[in-house]
Amino acid sequence: MGLELLINVRPHQTRVALLENGQLAELYVERRKDKHLLGNIYKGRVIRVLPGMQSAFVDIGYERSGFLFVNDMCTERLPWKEFEKTLLETLIQEEGELEIGSVETDRPVKERAIEDLLKEGQEIVVQVSKDPVGLKGPRLTCNVSLPGRHLVLMPTMNHVGVSKKIEDVAERERLRTIVSNLRKDNYGYIVRTASEGVEEEKLIREMEFLNTLWENIKIRMEKSGSPKLLYNELSISLRAVRDLFTMDVDKLIIDSQEEYQSILEFMDTFAPNLKANVEFYNKKEPLFDAYGIEIEINRALQRRVWLKSGGYIVIEPTEAFTAIDVNTGSFVGKRDLEDTIFKTNLEAAKEIAYQLRLRNIAGIVVIDFIDMQQQANREKLLEAFKEFLKKDRAKTTLSPISNLGLLEMTRKRTRANLYSIMTEPCPCCDGRGYVKSKSAITDDILRKIEDEAILNPGNSPIKCKVSKEMETYIKEEEHDVLLKLEKRLGRRIVIMGQGELHQEDFQIMS
């Protein structure tokens, strides 16, 4: 069993699962009510220029303004070597581009200030390179990329690249020559892995399709005001077919008749040779249940992940970074301590690479491997981890393992991770991961009762509304303390349990 692509379609959401040897490797979720912006092209309006951050906020018609950094301006004005490649960088990383060219300029990037390039109220064409995450708006770029199945059109760049995953040198040169000879207006292209062995006529048709698409976008741009959506990226189902359904994938299974027909029509144009690998699933048992994916999704949200050896890793997402801790657990090994630790770390590294990809953990990641005494073992572990990460289509950068066993790395973020899609802060602890103890809450309540007695003197009872759990605790565990306080204040104290109150909430009344 190799690669399988499963698409589960429901009225409220669509989920795409990529299985490797029967195991869930990647999961994509798109809800109907949530706007997917990645890849969309807009005619926006600059609403604020920030010289101190060398960036600008652009109104694209979304609830939050998009963020445009100076290095994401068009490369016709900025040199390639200084260009932060956002969306294009992701495509190049996924396709393993052979080499990178350059664009000449007579002025270095460090002299090109954002305030010289953009003014408030200026209209500008931008593409979303990162979906909004949390309170952050979408990340924008002026360097448009239009992905097809075999090619990626880059109209703002004069460059042709070929996927490194096409290993045959002669085939790479054939594809490079075809695209270089056929391209017009010095448009740039990335030749994707799916192009391997594809005849020239098919590349010509796709190139014409992408060029026409870009020309239509430019026409809409000239006729439209701002903010305005100029190009809407494909649905998640069709994106999965375009980007994930290759010759390496044994079959694509989808449980929606409507989407099944849509995919077949899409493949008539872009991949007719793979239509036989598309299956419609119409059994009673839900598709994801039949393949055990629902169980895997629930496991992917757990904090602790057990290893087969008995060790485990703990994944702690924080606001600034994700911390991952490795522990030996019940694994005791068979030889010496160093060997046991190395084997645990090696098994953990493989699992961490898998979890990063499955949960789509991005940004800064700090991994606390178990400390190893031998430098050679640290180097072996690092090389093994790099090898495990090769299946990951997101760009990663790693630093050497420190003497303390810490490995710092980054993983490129383009979409929300599994936590933000499927979880929300706990209503009890507000995302802290803990609540005040009952004894500490009792102390707060008794202090507030004393304050109330001072502010509103008299003989009337002081009433305190608390949660049901706190009512039971105070009356059973703090009864003597309550009697002493009543005697000292000379007033009766009434504790009343309210089912709707949170454990930390209470109300004092005279």
- Nearest residue to 217 (alpha-carbon basis) of 307, 269, 144: 144
Domain boundaries, the chain: 3-33+238-295, 41-232, 303-422, 438-509
Q: Could you tell me the CATH superfamily of domain 438-509?
A: Ribonuclease E, catalytic domain (3.40.1260.20)
Q: Which pLDDT value is given to residue 108?
A: 44
Element (H, E) at 433: none
Q: Which pLDDT value is given to residue 88?
A: 45
Asked if residues 438 and 469 have their Cβ atoms less than 8 Å apart, the reply is: yes
Q: Can you say how many angstroms the Cα of residue 233 is from the centroid of all Cα atoms in its chain?
A: 17
- Strands across the sheet containing 3-9: 23-31, 13-20, 3-9, 249-254, 278-280
Instruction: Copy the structure tokens of residue 431.
Output: 């995302």
DSSP 249-286: EEEEEES-HHHHHHHHHHHHHH-GGGGGGEEE---SS-
Phi, psi of 265, rounded to the nearest 5 degrees:
-65, -40
The per-residue pLDDT for range 309-334, each reduced to its tens digit, is: 888 999 998 878 999 999 887 666 56
> CA 104, 177, 270, 214 torsion: positive or negative?
positive
DSSP 178-210: HHHHH--TT-EEEE-GGGTT--HHHHHHHHHHH
Asked if residues 395 and 130 have their Cβ atoms less than 8 Å apart, the reply is: no
- Reading the chain (510 residues) residue by residue, the pLDDT tens digits are 578 999 999 888 899 999 988 889 989 888 876 667 888 999 999 999 998 888 899 999 888 899 998 888 874 533 333 333 444 444 444 444 333 333 333 344 445 788 888 889 999 999 998 888 777 888 999 988 898 888 899 888 888 888 888 888 888 889 988 888 888 878 889 988 888 888 888 888 888 888 888 888 988 888 888 888 998 888 888 888 888 887 678 899 999 999 999 999 888 877 788 888 899 999 888 899 899 998 888 888 888 999 988 889 999 988 789 999 998 876 665 667 888 888 889 999 999 999 999 998 988 999 999 888 888 998 999 999 999 998 888 889 999 988 888 999 999 877 778 887 788 777 777 777 788 889 889 988 998 998 888 888 888 899 999 999 999 999 999 889 989 888 888 889 999 998 888 888 999 987
Instruction: Copy the structure tokens of residue 148.
Output: 């097809």
Asked if residues 349 and 385 have their Cβ atoms less than 8 Å apart, the reply is: yes
Measured at the CA of 20, the angle between CA 399 and CA 423, to 5 degrees, comes to 70
Asked if residues 79 and 104 have their Cβ atoms less than 8 Å apart, the reply is: yes
Number of H helices, E strands in the chain: 14, 24
Q: Which pLDDT value is given to residue 63?
A: 84
Per the listing, tokens 């109907």 go with 32
Q: How far apart are the first and last CA of the chain?
A: 71
Instruction: Copy the structure tokens of residue 278.
Output: 């598309």
Q: Which pLDDT value is given to residue 331?
A: 61
Fold classification of 41-232 (topology level) = OB fold (Dihydrolipoamide Acetyltransferase, E2P) (2.40.50)
For the 3-33+238-295 domain, the top CATH level (class) is alpha beta
Asked if residues 6 and 287 have their Cβ atoms less than 8 Å apart, the reply is: yes
Q: Which pLDDT value is given to residue 326?
A: 92
Asked if residues 416 and 131 have their Cβ atoms less than 8 Å apart, the reply is: yes
CA distances (Å), origin 161, targets 164, 225, 440: 9, 34, 63
Instruction: Copy the structure tokens of residue 244.
Output: 């994930």
Q: Which pLDDT value is given to residue 369?
A: 92
Q: Which pLDDT value is given to residue 347?
A: 93
Instruction: Copy the structure tokens of residue 415.
Output: 């979409």
CA distance 125 to 123: 7
Burial class (CB in 10 A: 0-12, 13-18, 19+), 32: exposed
Asked if residues 250 and 230 have their Cβ atoms less than 8 Å apart, the reply is: no
Per the listing, tokens 């920030």 go with 50
CA distance 323 to 368: 8
Instruction: Copy the structure tokens of residue 198.
Output: 């594809």
Q: Which pLDDT value is given to residue 100?
A: 31
The per-residue pLDDT for range 433-443, each reduced to its tens digit, is: 788 889 889 98
- Nearest residue to 418 (alpha-carbon basis) of 312, 299, 323: 299
3-state SS assignment for residue 472: helix
Element (H, E) at 127: strand 123-130
